[in-house]
Structure 1
Amino acid sequence: MAWLAVTVIVGTMLRPQTAGIAEIVGFLSGGIAWNVLAGAVLLAIATRAFGWRDLGFRAPRSGPVLRLAWFPVLTLLPFYAIAFAVGLPPAQAVLFLAVNTALVALSEEWMFRGVLFAAFRGRMALWAAIALTSVLFGAVHVLNAFALGDIRLAAAQAVAAMMTGTLLVALMLRTGSIWTAVAYHLLWNFGILLVAYETAKYPLPDGPMPPATYLMPMLVVLPNFLYGLILLRRLPDAARSGQTGAD
């Protein structure tokens, strides 16, 4: 709850009151997201204080990374292709977007694939821990309704985040390291924000958006979700028993 309060409530206070997509992108490209940094610092303090040593902060094995990450990397290419096609932001904006997406990826993976997943895994079956962690990861994104002003769009993003969370935990388990999930989370968000920097400048049409708008976030992440399920079905015995460093 403390992490959620710091990252979400403080973040709401720092952003403009009428924050839409363009304002959020402007906030992330105009300076450090101090609320996200504070959330990461809070997790570091808690990890040190409580002696959490099973959160996956170890170097990934290069073999599994190269063998398993090819498909998720392919799904990133359209974002970066579009970003180059529409034009990249100024260098300073790119720098702040990179720093802030790195902070978001680290903080959220530390919280969900690290702290929460480790806690759930010690108390329930592996698939239950995976499902609950992914659902909670998606549920937090419903809070985007306060920024977007559209509960339906926020709900669609929440479902998409839950689906993405399945891939992220699969990558962590198969490579034995949370850093794999952090890296992919960073690259995914960074690609989206590079595109949004230019496209968010165009106002949305008045009135209700077509249903396809709400389906789009889920359709975009569907291939990664299915791939994550495939990876989870083929978990080695060592990963199932909690030794995530094996493959």
Structure 2
Amino acid sequence: MGTLIGLGVLFGWQLVFVGLDALGVVQVKGALGAILPWGHLLMGLTIWWLVRRWHNTGLRALGFRTVSLLRGFWLYAQAIVIGYSALVIWGIIVYALTGRGAQQNLLPAFGTGREALLAAALSASLIAPVTEELLFRGFLFAGLRKRLDVIPAIVISSLAFALFHFNPFAFPALLALGGVLAWLFQRSGSLWPAIGLHATINTVTLLVWYAQTNGLIPTPA
């Protein structure tokens, strides 16, 4: 029940944001920088409250546990190679078939100026990795593992992760990335390596978007 409510809160937030934009109440451009970080924080706090409410446990039970530096780095290194391979290969396929990138540059949606860039970095590189790993791996995947084998739990949690991002062009890559992050959590027993990988990918993506926005590298059509 807690897992279903957590997913309901998550997708409910997404639908509210999409609905407000469609109605013209909130325009995506510029508003994203103000809304998205708070949305991720709300999501993380909701999951933490649900766990405290139903299971009376702390953050350690959600996966915020220590892992040896050597083991954590070794698993992180394997995961980043596999994860980026999936992202790059799928990006090439999408570009070859459609002439566009798999992931749209969202940086302009945060607005312009240093404040917008700071909001994007705060959301993508810090808040999103923590809250999304808390939900999809620490809460959803771990909850599924109590009832299912590893593979079905990875598949279901990865599907939820990919659907959450509302990007049909990047769906297969996000599905694969969700699987890699779940595998990393399963093998390490801690959310920290998965958070590190998630933060790395988001930060690199943000840097690429920044370079594209400022004309430093070409932008796919």
Partner of residue 54, structure 2 = 50
Question: Is residue 70 of structure 1 aligned with residue 83 of structure 2?
Answer: no
By how many angstroms is 1:31 displaced?
7.5
By how many angstroms is 1:114 displaced?
1.4
Question: Is residue 167 of structure 1 aligned with residue 180 of structure 2?
Answer: yes
TM value normalised by structure 2: 0.66
One-letter code of the match for 2:15? I
* Cα distance per residue 1:75-120 (max 9 Å; x no partner): 77xx9xxxxxxxxx96544432232122111221111111111221
Partner of residue 100, structure 2 = none
Question: Is residue 98 of structure 1 aligned with residue 121 of structure 2?
Answer: yes
Structure 1: gaps (5+ residues): 80-88, 144-153, 210-247
Counterpart among 161, 178, 188 of residue 137 in structure 1: 161
Q: Is the 8 A contact 1:171 1:181 kept in 2?
A: yes
CA 1:42–1:14: 2 relative to 1, 3 Å: farther
Partner of residue 15, structure 2 = 9
Structure 2: gaps (5+ residues): 1-7, 89-111
User: What is the distance in 1 between the residues matched to 2:207 and 2:51?
Assistant: 32
Partner of residue 224, structure 1 = none
* Cα distance per residue 1:19-67 (max 9 Å; x no partner): 4xxx47x833x67622222111211211211226432111222121122
User: What is the distance in 1 between the residues matched to 2:11 and 2:185?
Assistant: 23
Summarize the alignment of residues 27-38 of structure 1 with structure 2, pairs less than 5 Å apart. 27-28=32-33, 33-38=37-42
TM value normalised by structure 1: 0.60
Percent identity between the two aligned chains: 25
User: What is the distance in 2 between the residues matched to 1:160 and 1:52?
Assistant: 36
Q: Is the 8 A contact 1:3 1:42 kept in 2?
A: no
Partner of residue 198, structure 2 = 185
Q: Is the 8 A contact 1:32 1:99 kept in 2?
A: no
